[in-house]
C-alpha cells in the first residue's frame, strides 16, 4: 500500500458517519467571532502550539500520551477533514511522527480504558492517509481491549475474568467515563476496517452501562456507589452514545436500546440547561457552577442528534444554539477555555464535586469545543 506524504495529506475517509439531514437553520448565521470554522481553528492552533499534556495539564516531561490529548487530537483531525484543511491535517500528523521514534516511550499501554482510547488517533490518521503504520498501532489497541490478560498477570483478576466471560472487555469498571473511552476506540476500529466485530461489541458494552447506570431521570451516576450527576462524567456518556450511534449499523440489535437511552438523556439535559445556555458541574444542583467541558459534550451530543434526525430540530436546535453561543464566551484571547473542571476521581460526597478546581486551558475542556465546531459543520 502506498503511503501518502504528510505534505499532501488528504482527509479521505475519517470520521465516518451515517447519512445526515441538511443542517437546521438554527445552527447557522453565527455572530462575528463565533462561527464554528473560526472557533475550531483557534482551538486546533492552540493544541499545536503546546507540548503534550499530563491528563490535560501541560508539561515538558509527560510520562505518556493521556486521554485529554487523544480527545483533542482526534477532534482536531476531524475538524481538519470537515473543513478540507490539508495543511492542518498534515501538521497534526507531523506531531504524531515522533511517537514512531524518539517519543515511542510515551505510547500508553492498552491496559486501562483511559490508555486504550489512544488508538482512536492513529486509526483516524490511517483513514486520512492510508499509512499502514497507523492502522497497525490503532488496531493493536482496539484488539487488546478485548484480549484477556495472560493467566497470572497483574491484570488477570477475578473481576476481569468475569467481564470476559460475559463477552465484555476485561477493562470494564462501570464508570460512566468508560462509555467514551471504550466506544471511541472500538468505533474507530470499525470505521477504519469495516469489521462489524468492533462496533457490535462496543454496542453490547454500551447496553450494559445503560442498564446499570442510567437513572429514571435519564441521567447517570458517576459510578454505582456515587449518587451524583457529575457534569463531565455525564458528558462522556452523552458524547460516547453520539459517536457510537453515528456509525452503528441500523441492523445492530442493540441500536434501539442505545437510541432510547440517548433520547432519554437528551430530554433530561434539556430540562436542566440554565437560562444562559450552560450546564452545571452537578447537573441537577442549582448551587453548583457553570462548567464548560460538560456543556461542550452535551452540546456535541445534541448537535449530532439534530444533524442525524434523532432529535427534533425545533426542540433541540434552540438549546444547541444557546449552548454554543454561551460556550464561546468562555474562550480567552489565547484560545484557552476557562472554567473547566479539573481531572476528577469518583467520591460519594457532594462537596467534593462542588470544590473541584476551575481551570483554564485544560484539554478536558478544549476537546469538546472542537467536537462541537466539527459537528456544527457536518
Predicted local confidence at residue 54, as pLDDT: 81
Predicted local confidence at residue 23, as pLDDT: 43
Residue 278: inside a domain, yes or no? yes
Predicted local confidence at residue 25, as pLDDT: 62
Which CATH number does the domain housing residue 57 bear? 1.50.10.10
Predicted local confidence at residue 55, as pLDDT: 78
**What confidence tens digit (pLDDT) does each residue in 319-376 have?**
999 999 999 999 999 999 999 999 999 999 999 999 999 999 999 999 999 999 999 9
Window from 4-13, 162-171, 178-187 with minimum mean pLDDT: 4-13
**What confidence tens digit (pLDDT) does each residue in 24-53 have?**
467 889 999 999 999 999 999 999 999 998
Residue 126: inside a domain, yes or no? yes
**What confidence tens digit (pLDDT) does each residue in 110-122 have?**
999 999 999 999 9
**What confidence tens digit (pLDDT) does each residue in 191-223 have?**
999 999 999 999 999 999 999 999 999 999 988
Per-residue burial over 334-370, b if 16 or more Cβ lie within 10 Å, else e, is ebbbebbbebbebeeeeeebeebebbebbbbbbbbbb
Residue 2: inside a domain, yes or no? no
User: Number of folded domains in the chain?
Assistant: 1
Q: Is the pLDDT of residue 184 over 80?
A: yes
Residue 118: inside a domain, yes or no? yes
Q: Is the pLDDT of residue 60 over 90?
A: no
CA distance 86 to 89: 5
Residue 8: inside a domain, yes or no? no
% of the chain exceeding 90 in pLDDT: 88
Window from 7-21, 66-80, 258-272, 282-296 with minimum mean pLDDT: 7-21
pLDDT band at residue 126 under the 50/70/90 scheme: very high
Residue 200: inside a domain, yes or no? yes
Residue 3: inside a domain, yes or no? no
Instruction: Give the chain's end-to-end CA distance (angstroms, integer).
Output: 29
Residue 130: inside a domain, yes or no? yes
Domain range holding 244? 16-377
Q: Is the pLDDT of residue 5 over 50?
A: no
Predicted local confidence at residue 249, as pLDDT: 98
Amino acid at each position: 500500500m502506498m503511503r501518502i506524504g504528510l505534505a499532501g495529506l488528504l482527509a479521505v475517509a475519517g470520521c465516518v458517519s451515517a447519512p445526515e439531514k441538511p443542517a437546521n437553520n438554527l445552527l447557522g448565521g453565527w455572530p462575528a467571532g463565533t462561527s464554528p470554522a473560526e472557533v475550531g481553528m483557534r482551538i486546533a492552533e492552540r493544541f499545536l502550539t503546546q507540548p503534550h499534556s499530563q491528563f490535560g495539564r501541560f508539561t515538558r516531561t509527560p510520562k505518556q500520551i493521556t486521554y485529554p490529548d487523544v480527545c483533542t487530537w482526534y477532534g482536531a483531525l476531524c475538524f481538519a477533514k470537515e473543513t478540507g484543511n490539508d495543511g492542518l491535517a498534515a501538521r497534526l500528523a507531523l506531531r504524531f511522527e515522533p511517537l514512531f521514534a524518539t517519543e515511542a516511550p510515551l505510547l500508553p499501554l492498552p491496559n486501562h480504558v483511559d490508555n486504550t482510547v489512544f488508538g482512536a488517533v492513529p486509526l483516524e490518521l490511517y483513514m486520512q492517509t492510508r499509512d499502514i503504520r497507523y492502522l497497525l498501532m490503532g488496531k493493536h489497541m482496539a484488539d487488546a481491549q478485548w484480549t484477556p490478560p495472560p493467566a497470572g498477570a497483574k491484570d488477570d483478576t477475578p473481576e476481569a475474568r468475569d467481564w470476559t466471560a460475559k463477552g465484555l472487555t476485561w477493562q470494564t469498571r462501570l464508570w460512566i467515563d468508560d462509555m467514551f473511552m471504550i466506544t471511541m476506540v472500538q468505533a474507530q476500529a470499525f470505521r477504519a476496517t469495516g469489521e462489524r466485530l468492533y462496533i457490535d461489541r462496543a454496542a453490547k458494552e454500551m447496553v450494559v452501562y445503560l442498564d446499570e447506570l442510567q437513572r429514571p431521570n435519564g441521567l447517570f451516576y458517576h459510578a454505582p456507589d456515587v449518587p451524583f450527576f457529575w457534569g463531565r462524567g455525564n458528558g462522556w456518556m452523552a458524547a460516547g452514545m453520539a459517536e457510537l450511534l453515528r456509525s452503528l449499523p441500523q441492523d445492530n440489535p442493540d441500536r434501539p436500546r442505545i437510541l432510547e437511552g440517548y433520547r432519554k438523556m437528551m430530554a433530561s439535559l434539556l430540562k436542566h440547561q440554565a437560562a444562559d445556555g450552560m450546564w452545571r458541574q452537578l447537573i441537577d444542583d442549582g448551587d453548583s457552577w457553570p462548567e464548560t467541558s460538560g456543556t461542550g459534550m452535551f452540546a456535541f451530543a445534541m448537535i449530532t442528534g439534530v444533524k442525524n434526525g434523532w432529535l427534533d430540530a425545533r426542540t433541540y436546535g434552540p438549546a444547541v444554539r444557546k449552548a454554543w453561543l454561551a460556550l464561546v464566551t468562555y474562550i480567552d484571547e489565547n484560545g484557552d477555555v476557562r472554567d473547566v473542571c479539573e481531572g476528577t476521581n469518583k467520591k460519594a460526597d457532594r462537596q467534593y464535586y462542588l470544590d473541584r478546581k476551575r481551570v483554564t486551558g485544560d484539554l478536558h475542556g478544549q476537546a469538546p469545543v472542537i467536537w462541537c465546531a466539527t459537528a456544527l459543520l457536518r
